[in-house]
């Protein structure tokens, strides 16, 4: 058996997104984001996008992932004083970043993945010059990280965009937004480029949908894939510009990558599994290989999609291929011949796996499988940029949390990750645990679905002292970083 010794260069760390942790709404010149109109929800109550209807009355539509609804004619996203909007406060990283980075440093992080609030740098997205205060905030964060020996890994755009770009242009429906995105990239590369090697052009591009992430009021397949095509082009142009401006920089895009099993060895189930896999692989294939794969024709035919492309687009995609492939991995799914063609799989349930209270199937071996599958497909280095357990943590009287269940979840996943690297030979650059300090859940907008090594005193409605406290897993992960995983 090969020794389970990870490479010395392996990067351990954590990951967050701006709208789930940053807050600082209305401060430092930050403009409105599409996310700012989204309420909290729960596992049973979908998050809502609040609206002012054409007749002036109050309305809302479901904003969650693939269930999101279009915005009716004449209605506009609107913020109401009596509603709670989690992106406005996040967990107030905007005022706690030094403390949060110090805690990461204490754990021995080598890398911290975070995302940029686009509207903090370009409040509407349409300005010619950036908001200096916004740029400086991220320069300061990066400098603080580097002073602690932590490399930044920056997600340029995490499922959101300035609300003005959505309202005025329909978001990514318009090629104008490609230029706005590149303007953002140029500022980041100029001001942070020498300090940051690892970049991600977009987050979970295969799992986004609707107004919040694409800026479009519509949710039909034609509009969705046209928006995605524009994001592909924007990403490829950003990669090209980044390579020119920052020699040695590495570009990826992040994919939501749960493993999918066929329900039985019946050939029809296996065929369905492959077709579901293609629904996701389409995204990584285009971006990592530089062209639309053969099976895209079938997907677009079924969905009635006819992409509008400019003459140079194919060349742009080819020239802007990713350097490394990154993904999130939380769970696995099962499909049978009757399952709908979903990007993330779906029912039936897997009788061999446990599930979390949010219905996510826990599957450490699936991580090893996915790592092999992705590396085998692209033969480019991979990076696990999200993994973790969302759980209900209880603060004990002594001021700590006994999250042994989280340690168990992570230990099992990290052991499988080590096998993929040390036994199977997958080239994996690092691992960033999702939500290293507690933050607001993306899917439900709750605070009680916690992932962190650090507990943040805040409830589902944003009340609390925001005090940070170490959980039991804090010292455990510190040991993982110190020993480069040999204690697993
Ligand atoms: C990924 C996202 O989908 O999963 C994160 O990139 C998100 O933003 C994470 O938080 C976990 O999902 P949730 O819904 O548990 O917060």
Q: Which residue out of 144, 160, 173, 204 is catalytically annotated?
A: 204
Question: What is the C-alpha separation between 23 and 59, in angstroms, rounded?
Answer: 25
17 Cβ closer than 6 Å to some ligand 1 atom: yes
- Indicate the average pLDDT of the chain: 96
* Confidence at residue 410, expressed as pLDDT on a 0 to 100 scale: 98
User: Residue 97: pLDDT above 60?
Assistant: yes
Find out whether the peptide bond into 325 is cis, omega within 30 degrees of 0: no
- Active site (annotated) includes residue 76: no
pTM of the model: 0.97
Specify the higher pLDDT residue, 391 or 358. Answer: 391
pLDDT of 283-310, one tens digit each?
A: 999 999 999 999 999 999 999 999 999 9
- Catalytic, 386? Answer yes
Q: Which atom of ligand 1 lies at the shortest distance from residue 440's CA?
A: 16
Nearest 5°: phi and psi at 479? -65, -40
Strands (E), 226-307: 250-252, 254-256, 259-262
- Res. 204 pLDDT band, cuts 50 70 90: very high
Q: Comparing C-alpha atoms, which of 128, 129, 130, 152 is closest to residue 140?
A: 152
The answer, yes or no, to whether any atom of ligand 1 lies below 6 A from the CB of 326, is no
DSSP secondary structure letters along 473-488? HHHHHHHHHHTTTTT-
Taking residues 322-339, report their average pLDDT: 95
Query: Residue 198 pLDDT more than 80?
Result: yes
């Amino acid at each position: 058996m090969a020794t389970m010794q990870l490479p010395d260069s392996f990067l351990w760390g954590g990951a967050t997104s701006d709208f789930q942790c940053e807050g600082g709404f209305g401060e430092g010149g930050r403009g409105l984001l599409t996310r700012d109109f989204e309420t909290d929800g729960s596992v049973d109550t979908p998050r809502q996008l609040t609206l002012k209807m054409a007749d002036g009355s109050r309305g809302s539509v479901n904003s969650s992932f693939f269930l999101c609804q279009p915005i009716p004619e004449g209605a506009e996203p609107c913020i109401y004083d009596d509603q709670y909007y989690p992106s406005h406060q996040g967990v107030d990283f905007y005022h706690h970043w030094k403390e949060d980075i110090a805690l990461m440093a204490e754990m021995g992080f080598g890398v911290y993945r975070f995302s940029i609030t686009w509207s903090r740098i370009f409040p509407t997205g349409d300005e010619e010059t950036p908001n200096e205060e916004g740029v400086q905030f991220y320069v300061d964060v990066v400098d603080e990280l580097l002073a602690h020996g932590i490399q930044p890994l920056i997600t340029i755009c995490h499922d959101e965009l300035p609300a003005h770009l959505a309202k005025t242009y329909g978001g990514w429906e318009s090629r104008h937004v490609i230029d706005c995105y590149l303007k953002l990239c140029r500022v980041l590369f100029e001001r942070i480029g020498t300090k940051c090697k690892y970049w991600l052009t977009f987050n979970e591009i295969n799992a986004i949908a609707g107004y919040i992430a694409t800026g479009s009021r519509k949710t039909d397949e034609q509009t969705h894939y046209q928006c995605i095509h524009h994001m592909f082009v924007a990403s490829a142009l950003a990669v090209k510009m980044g390579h020119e401006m920052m020699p040695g920089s590495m570009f990826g895009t992040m994919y939501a990558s749960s493993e999918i099993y066929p329900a039985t060895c019946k050939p029809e189930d296996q065929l369905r599994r492959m077709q579901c896999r293609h629904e996701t692989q389409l995204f990584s294939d285009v971006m990592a290989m530089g062209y639309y794969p053969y099976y895209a024709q079938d997907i677009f035919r079924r969905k009635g999609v006819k992409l509008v492309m400019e003459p140079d687009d194919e060349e742009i995609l080819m020239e802007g291929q990713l350097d490394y492939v990154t993904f999130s991995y939380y769970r696995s799914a099962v499909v049978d011949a009757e399952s709908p063609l979903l990007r993330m799989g779906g029912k039936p349930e897997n009788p061999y796996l446990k599930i979390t209270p949010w219905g996510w199937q826990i599957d450490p071996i699936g991580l090893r499988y996915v790592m092999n599958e992705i590396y085998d497909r692209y033969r480019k280095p991979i990076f696990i940029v999200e993994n973790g357990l969302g759980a209900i943590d209880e603060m004990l009287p002594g001021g700590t949390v006994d999250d042994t269940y989280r340690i168990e979840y992570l230990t099992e996943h990290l052991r499988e990750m080590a096998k993929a690297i040390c036994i199977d030979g997958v080239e994996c650059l690092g691992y960033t645990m999702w939500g290293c300090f507690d933050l607001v859940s993306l899917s439900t907008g709750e605070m009680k679905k916690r992932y962190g090594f650090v507990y943040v005193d805040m409830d589902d409605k944003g009340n609390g002292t925001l005090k940070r406290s170490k959980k039991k897993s804090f010292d455990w992960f510190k040991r993982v970083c110190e020993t480069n995983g040999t204690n697993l």
